[in-house]
Structure 1
């Protein structure tokens, strides 16, 4: 054999070796037994078929009597938010104020895009009602005052300033129709 014929045999030998190894590996694998038709039918018969018939009317549970008030009065807890009113005000210069009045605690919570504060009522009068806190509307050191007039709290005036400001910011507010 010469060197030229050996070079031609190398790819053939390589391919033959690969085919032999594939055949060896496939022969080593375990074959799963195929299920017979009888086994398939037996497996299907084990499934319980659904009935198309309606359930017996006698199986339906019926509650005879409703519980009385005395039986359930201690089972339930109800809370009512008396004395809480929420209004939206549009102010000039431009500011939107969400006011939640808590009449039982003499407080109002004012929510704006600048911050949210809880103010306490400082006077006994009903017109105007004056609420104050020692914090600026942005939460910094200062003060905020909210005066609301009329029995229906239709108009409001907010004054707020940070500590050291010579003049407070003043907002004249009018309650929106939808609140």
Structure 2
């Protein structure tokens, strides 16, 4: 009986090892992936890299006909900044000033050949308006004052001094037409 049992055990071990080998081989084989169907592709959300640049429209329409005022009026939006005024002044001794008034910020930007300065309004009066900055006209250490008179800001006086505050340059300016 021992011999019969031994043969039976050997046969069981042999069959079991064949089964394990077959399972191992099938696990190691490459299997083709299932192709996604058309429905899966439609339902899947694709990741598209985004750009900081705005997209350009693909449908550009060019017409040779001029549109009437009524057709364009609804499509046109214009914004006017009423708090900014630009005025050019000619001063004596010879100096040209481009002044940009920013009324909401109570500031004026003066641009000359020597440099550009931003001055802050120091009073609440409308005539004369007084603006100051702790910098010379050329941007160096010093001080600059701008006084402009009249509602239309037609005339102005600029006083500027460098590091030596005793040496003050004064210019009388008139608005150009």
TM exceeding 0.5: yes
RMSD of Structure 2 on Structure 1 (CA): 1.8
What's 2:7 paired with?
none
How far off its partner does 1:79 sit?
4.4
- Count of residue correspondences: 105
- Give distance in 1, aligned partners of 2:136 and 2:174: 21
What's 1:132 paired with?
132
- Give distance in 2, aligned partners of 1:131 and 1:154: 16
Kindly report which structure 2 residues correspond to 1:1-179, keeping only aligned pairs within 5 A, or say none: 79-177=79-177
- Give distance in 2, aligned partners of 1:104 and 1:77: 23
- In the TM superposition, structure 1's runs of 4+ consecutive aligned residues that sit over 4 Å from their partners are 76-79
| Structure 2: tracts of 5 or more residues without a match | 1-70
Normalising by the residue count of structure 2, what TM-score does the alignment of the two structures yield?
A: 0.56
- Give distance in 2, aligned partners of 1:165 and 1:123: 22
Normalising by the residue count of structure 1, what TM-score does the alignment of the two structures yield?
A: 0.55
- Give distance in 2, aligned partners of 1:176 and 1:77: 31
Q: Point out the more displaced range, 118-127 or 77-86.
A: 77-86
